[in-house]
Structure 1
């Protein structure tokens, strides 16, 4: 009998997050330089490189000249960019619910002969980034992806990680991949046309990382809550930068970038958020649902005596000061039961032992491996009281 053969190997990943203004202005060479760097350091080819653009329809509507500007930009730098097609896809969570969007991108990759030395550039919110990244990752076992996120949530969270996915079987991100992008480019100009609820929603992810990792960052958000609500550019840019930096550090330094273990601190508040999104047919924005999920979990942590009255009050007041509506859209016993079923669905999605991240203080994560359903129901009722009674 032959002996078993065993071999270990390591794969190094490297990707950059860039910050710019007016990315597709012909005087801005950043995107050209990204392709130039690839040709110089990571490819035997020097260009031009085929590029398939995928654009969120909401972004195209808010920026009517965007598609023309993309064309003009590529014409300005033909040595590096060969735009083969621009696809406009539906934006928002609906893009992850309809597999036809993935099929459309895969068909374009096939028809335009996009290869593993070609690129897909996704321009849009977090859902479009997720869906396009999934399509790029499964084509040829991985076509290079550049993400151009256009919302607060995608610039500080969704686009800076290594995950891609779509929804299936009524479950969020049931189908997905771990595939780091080649680059991410944050352009502040895209934020200026956001609706107020989209401006606010992404701040939930910043509060999330602050609560589990950095009390000083939480204090910054607390002290600048009104500025953030009133769309102060400087406060928002720092919030996005700090949040993105912490997310990327966690991926690189956490020791589990592809989530092989059971602990997912960056999913703090997300077991309820994912279920709330589905239960409301995605009328709730992801960030809005995350805000509700975090407040529910910190209220549960308070009932467990993990955090003090003062900490709970500070957390609730920050969310409300920024403008979050914390009124959980849960009224009946059957809806409560459906929400609690999200705990088991969360365990199934992550695999292994149930691990729910709570906090034992601001900036201090605390994992638990079981949830007391009766106590969680009590927390749910308390959140409804908080949402109805507290005003800023």
Structure 2
């Protein structure tokens, strides 16, 4: 009689990558990038967002001169930025063709330069080529320098769903060059601050207090203050990835996605006219009010959160949050909860607030209370406009 036999495989992989904070990374006297590459006779392909080439007109020559000085073969592809790159199969094919044409292998490098969407798309191509080539990210927005660019995920959109296709692929390194932030418009400068507010609200009350005290400096585009904000925000994100015990999200909890279930759906419903960080700010406001309406968060803390957001110039309400009568939550937005659950791959888990700096996971969102939260934001928004 046949007797079943089993072999259980178990292994651990020790992985690390550096997040470097610098200025003018492609100036020939800056050694940060070449010290990361190290290997002789390395091959490099560079994917750069078109707007970076426009607003930094010397960047292509700087990149070419940098690698020529260090005798590194390189090839550059310019791609469009924004969320549309993640909806475009053609651009992914272009990046894969670049990798193929230049005979890039697992010991070669793809350097992605741009905002979060470009890093996501180029990172996805790097992850699926040869089952993974070395990716160096050079984020160029506040949002990507303090959040998405320092994490371990890549993705593109599919079936009308944000990040439906993607991988967990840690980068080889991340280089945050604050000089790229100088040419951001005010919307993109502000947008990334919402991710700092998010992580502060669930992990670090002192950091939230610091942000609230520095809204004026941030609005005035004080670079030193922004660099400090980005460093602390990136540090909190990296600490969570390294110490939470679930860097590849095998469970059904994503605490760093506080405010994001509504944000992702709002982005989609607006045709991505609402920037990710702007949508996150609205999602933070909505979930903070919901926390208050369910007795978790006191009103003083709620008002501090809403004041911080509005002092920075964020909208805390969007017409797409409500139905046509503005009396209930938009059913299409509410549907985003199920899509969020599906994306997590388990039971619905949403982060709410028990206080500034303290989060609490819940597994059900009551539609009636959510509608009340929307009404609260409508009234708050009216008062702000007056």
Which residue among 370, 377, 381 is the counterpart of 1:387? Answer: 381
Residues of 1 paired with 2:204 and 2:127: CA distance? 33
Hey, what does 1:213 align to over in structure 2?
Answer: 203
Q: TM-score, normalised by structure 1?
A: 0.95
Counterpart of 1:175 in structure 2 is 165
Q: Does 1:50 find its partner at 2:40?
A: no
- The CA deviation at 1:154 is 0.3
Equivalent of 2:116, from 106, 109, 126? 126
Q: Which moved more, 1:382-391 or 1:110-119?
A: 382-391
Match of 2:46, SS state, is strand
- The answer as to whether partners of 1:327 and 1:388 remain within 8 angstroms in 2 is no
Equivalent residue, structure 2, for 1:376: 370
User: Which residue in the other structure is 2:323 paired with?
Assistant: 332
For 1:274 and 1:164, the matched residues in 2 are separated by 16
Matches within 5 A, 1:1-392: 1-36=3-38, 39=39, 47-78=40-71, 81-83=72-74, 85-330=75-320, 331-333=322-324, 336-390=330-384
Conservation of the 8 A alpha-carbon contact between 1:320 and 1:391: no
How many residues align? The count is 380
Distance 1:230 1:377 in 2: 36
1:146 CA displacement: 0.1
Determine if contact 1:328/1:383 at 8 Å carries over to the other structure: no
Divergent runs of 4+, >2 A? 331-335
Q: In 1, distance between residues paired with 2:222 and 2:310?
A: 17
* Partner SS, residue 166 of structure 1: strand
- CA drift at 1:329: 2.8
Determine helix, strand or coil for the equivalent of 2:319. Answer: coil
Instruction: Work out the CA distance in 1 between the residues paired with 2:297 and 2:119.
Output: 36
Task: Compute the displacement of 1:68 (Å).
Answer: 1.1
Contact map agreement 1:150 1:186 (CA 8 A) in 2: yes
**Which deviates further from its counterpart, 134-143 or 329-338?**
329-338
Contact 1:150/1:190 (<8 A) preserved: yes
The CA RMSD measured in Å over matched residues stands at 1.2
Q: Which residue is equivalent to 1:44?
A: none
**1:2 Cα deviation (Å)?**
3.8
Mind listing any 5+ residue stretches in structure 1 that lack a counterpart? 40-46
- The 2-side partners of 1:326 and 1:180 are apart by 33
SS in structure 1 of the partner of residue 29 of structure 2: coil
Cα separation, 2, equivalents of 1:32 and 1:235: 28
TM-score (norm: length of structure 2): 0.97
Aligned to 1:42: none
Contact 1:22 1:187 in 2 (8 A): yes
Name the SS of the counterpart of 1:272 in structure 2: helix
Counterpart CA distance in 1 for 2:63 and 2:79 is: 16
Partners of 1:75 and 1:113 lie apart in 2 by: 18
Which digits, 9 at most, give the CA deviation of each residue in 1:55-106, with x for residues without a partner? 001111111111111111111110xx210x2111110111111111111111
What's the secondary structure of 1:206's corresponding residue?
A: helix
Residue 133 of structure 1: how far off its partner (Å): 0.4
SS at match of 2:111: strand
**Runs of 5+ unmatched residues, structure 2:** none
